Copies of this chain bind each other. A is one copy, B any other.
C-alpha cells in the first residue's frame, strides 16, 4: 500500500463533482466520503467494529482534545492514534486551531472568554460564532496562547507545535495550523488572518518536512465569505507542496456551495479536498457538487445522542409521544443495524430510560444514513447520474 495516492476516477460533466480513491498506509478511502469524527479517539458510543461495519472508511480525531487528554506523547508511545483507539483504517487529525478558538479559553484583550466550558465539542453552529472569541484570543505572529477548557491551564500552539503534536498522534492525514475567524469579523480582519494563515501554512509544511515520516499534510484555505480572499487563499495554498487541501472557515448555508466552488476552481484537480466540519445532508450534497471530496462533522452522532434521527426528507425526533407505541423501524427502507433489528418504540423506551444503548443505536443509524448518502452520490457520479 502506498503512503498516499489520490486518483480521480471520474469527473461530472455538469458540476465540479468527482469520484476517486485515496490510498493510505491504513487502507483506501473511496471519495466522495464522509469522515466519522472520533473527537477523543473514539467515535462516541460506538466500537470501531460498528463504525467499520456501517461503512465508514476513515476517522478524524481532534488534536486539541487529545493533546490535553490523554496527551500526544502517550499516543505516540501506543504506536499512534490508529493503534491506541483500535481503528485499523485510515485516520485524520485536525490542527487544533478550530477548537482553540471555539472551545479553549483564549485570553488577552478583554480577559478570559465566557465561552469556556460552554460547549463540549466543536461545531460550526451559528451560536459558536456569535460570541467574539477571536477578539479574546491571544494571537500573535508566532502562534496562539489559550487556556484548557478542562482545567484552565495555559497552553501555547504554534504551527510547529501543532505539527509536532500531530506527528506524535500519527494520523495518515494531518492539517496545517490555521486561524479560524468569526464570520462576523470585518473584511480587513479576515484578510489579516488569512495572510497569517498562509505564513503558518508555510511554517507547518517546513516543520512537517523537517520531521519526516509517512504522514500526509493538507494545507487549509481560508478567506471567509469574500470571493477575492477565498481565491487568493486557494492560489497561495495550492502553490505549496501539500498532499491535499482543507477548506476551512465558516459558511452560511446559502453561500457555502459558492465559496467552495470559488476555491475548487483554483485548487489542483489531482489533489484531494477536505471540507472541514460540514455534515448536514444538504451541505454535503452542495460540497460534492462544488468539488469537495471528503467531509467530517459531529452532526450525525451529536444529533443521534439527542434523539434526532436522519430520515429521507427530514428528521424524526424519537422522543415524540407518537413513537412510544410505534413498532416500525426508524425507516423501513434503511439497511442499518438499528433499522434491521429494533423498533421506534424500543428506541423511544431506551431514550426515556436514559440507557446508553439509545445513543449507540441512534448513532449507528445517523452515521449509516450519511455515509450511505455519500456512497450513493459516488455511484451517481460514476454512472453520470449525479
**Using a CB–CB distance below 8 Å, which chain A residues touch chain B?**
40-42, 44-47, 65, 69-70, 74, 77-78, 84-86, 324-325, 327, 341-343, 345-346, 348-350, 352-353, 355-357, 359-360
Contacts and interface: CB of A to CB of B under 8 A. Distances in A.
Nearest to A361: B47
A47 B360 contact: yes
Nearest to A348: B70
A119 to B, nearest CB: 15
13 contacts: A42-B350, A42-B353, A42-B357, A47-B360, A69-B349, A70-B324, A74-B325, A78-B346, A84-B343, A84-B346, A86-B342, A86-B346, A356-B356
Nearest to A325: B74
Contact of A345 (B42, B45, B78): B78
The oligomer's copy count stands at 2
Given A40-B349, A86-B342, 5 more contacts: A42-B357, A45-B356, A65-B353, A78-B346, A84-B346
| Pairs A-B, 5 closest by C-beta atoms | A70-B349, A45-B356, A86-B341, A40-B353, A42-B357
Given A69-B349, A325-B74, A47 B343 contact: no
A349 B41 contact: yes
Contacts of A355: 40, 42, 44
Contacts of A353: 40, 42, 65, 69
Contacts of A74: 324-325, 345
Contacts of A84: 343, 345-346
Contact of A85 (B85, B346, B359): B346
Contact of A78 (B41, B327, B359): B327
A346 B77 CA distance: 12
A69 B77 CA distance: 47
A341 to B, nearest CB: 5
A26 to B, nearest CB: 16
Nearest to A120: B354
Contacts of A41: 346, 349
